[in-house]
Amino acid sequence: MIVTTAASDATDVFGVLALEFMPGVQPAQPALSQADAGRLAGLLGRDLAALVPDVRGLELAFAAAHFDPAEVLRPGWVLHRRLDELRQRAPQRNDGPRLIAFGADASGQVPLPFHADPDLHGGSLRVLPFLLVGDAALAQAVAAEFEEILLDRGMAQADAALCAQEGFGSRIEHARYLTVHDLAAMTALQYRNQGLEALWPLIETALLAPQREAWLDAPPEPLLRYVRGEVNIALFSPDTWRQRYLADAAVDTNALMRRFAHFEARQRQIAAVLQAHGVPVTFVHCNGKAAEEL
């Protein structure tokens, strides 16, 4: 993915190093030491340049702290923006593009911009953000090549994977480089496998076209509207819910309440996924004309 910066002649390329840890085993450290961060950044830059040689003409910034994929896939690309802000504060030099890595300090403390969400720990896939910055034409060419090849050919070299494994103190099964578009595609597939496929268009709109509006209006799913940067979820009374979702179906009272409880649990699940992606959620009480009330 390419994102134009404030300067008209510069473009950022957003990507991640995706680490798949052994199931049930969490990284022992939230971030690499500064020395290991620098070492891994050098290996990352080497691997990317081996795939697309023009990478050598761009500045590389790397955050050696791991996150849940949802933390990267948030409106405004917050993690990459934080990384870019720290990059801009780093000392300048005049001998070519810089390679800048951010890790934990001598006491093991992680810089505040790279504190991972503790509520999103537990998944075996963790991602470390990186960005490439430089001349717009060069960055656009690199980004286009990345979109073509990283998903299929972006496996990290063995020494880079071993560096990450030793630094984080946990066994890594796979290490690969992805664009944020690749990461989004993988997440969309995961959500489809988890029965959340209907929700993805709202998340995608929030990421790629936040000024637009999107709906989830597909019974028996909850009713959602994405507008002005947030999602409104329709709340129904049991009677209003039955009118919308069951119409004239004959359902006994106990079965009705079980199905309504399941519907409310689905609303909470969807709200939790949206919030993990940094999309604000508001529950809106709706009576009879939910589409208008949202």
Q: What is the pLDDT of residue 193?
A: 95
DSSP string, 42-108: HHHHHHHHHH-GGGGGSEEEEE-B-B-HHHHSSTT-HHHHHHHHHHHHSPP-SSS--EEEE-B-TTS
Q: What is the pLDDT of residue 69?
A: 97
Which of 138-144's residues contact partners 24+ apart within 8 Å by CB, and which partners? 138/54, 138/57, 138/58, 139/2, 139/10, 139/11, 139/12, 139/13, 139/58, 140/2, 140/11, 141/54, 142/13, 142/52, 142/54, 142/55, 142/58, 143/1, 143/2, 143/11, 143/13, 143/179
Average pLDDT (160-183) is 95
Task: Please report, in angstroms and rounded to a whole number, the separation of the first and last CA atoms in the chain.
Answer: 33
More confident residue, 10 or 184: 184
- pLDDT higher than 70, residue 50: yes
Q: How far apart are CA 15 and CA 177, in angstroms?
A: 7
Q: How far apart are CA 288 and CA 239, in angstroms?
A: 10
Least confident segment among 3-17, 56-70, 229-243, 253-267: 3-17
| pLDDT, mean over the chain | 91
Query: Are 139 and 13 contacting, i.e. CB atoms less than 8 angstroms apart?
Result: yes
Q: What is the pLDDT of residue 4?
A: 42
Q: What is the pLDDT of residue 6?
A: 39
- pLDDT higher than 60, residue 48: yes
Strand order in the sheet with 230-235: 214-216, 224-227, 230-235, 281-285
More confident residue, 91 or 199: 199
Q: Give the SS3 label for residue 180.
A: helix
Q: What percentage of the chain carries pLDDT values higher than 70? A: 95
State pLDDT tens for residues 203-234: 999 999 999 999 999 999 999 999 999 999 99
Exposure string over 54-69, b if 16+ CB within 10 A, otherwise e: ebebbbbbbbbbbbbb
Q: How far apart are CA 259 and CA 253, in angstroms?
A: 10
Token pair 């403390």 in the structure block, residue = 109
Q: How far apart are CA 266 and CA 133, in angstroms?
A: 41
Domain boundaries, the chain: 2-193, 197-293
Average pLDDT (129-157) is 95
State pLDDT tens for residues 107-138: 888 888 899 999 998 789 999 999 999 999 99
Q: What is the pLDDT of residue 25?
A: 82
Average pLDDT (164-190) is 95
DSSP string, 114-154: GPPPGGGTT-SEEEEEEEEEEEHHHHHHHHHHHHHHHHHH-
Q: Give the SS3 label for residue 179.
A: strand
Q: What is the pLDDT of residue 11?
A: 76
Average pLDDT (20-48) is 93
- pLDDT higher than 90, residue 91: no
Q: In the structure, what pLDDT confidence band is assigned to residue 41 with cuts at 50, 70 and 90?
A: very high
Instruction: Provide the token pair at 112.
Output: 């505040």
Q: What is the pLDDT of residue 249?
A: 64
Q: What is the pLDDT of residue 1?
A: 54
Q: What is the pLDDT of residue 230?
A: 96
State pLDDT tens for residues 237-269: 888 888 888 876 666 778 888 889 999 999 999
Average pLDDT (5-18) is 71
Query: Are 216 and 223 contacting, i.e. CB atoms less than 8 angstroms apart?
Result: yes
Q: How far apart are CA 186 and CA 176, in angstroms?
A: 13
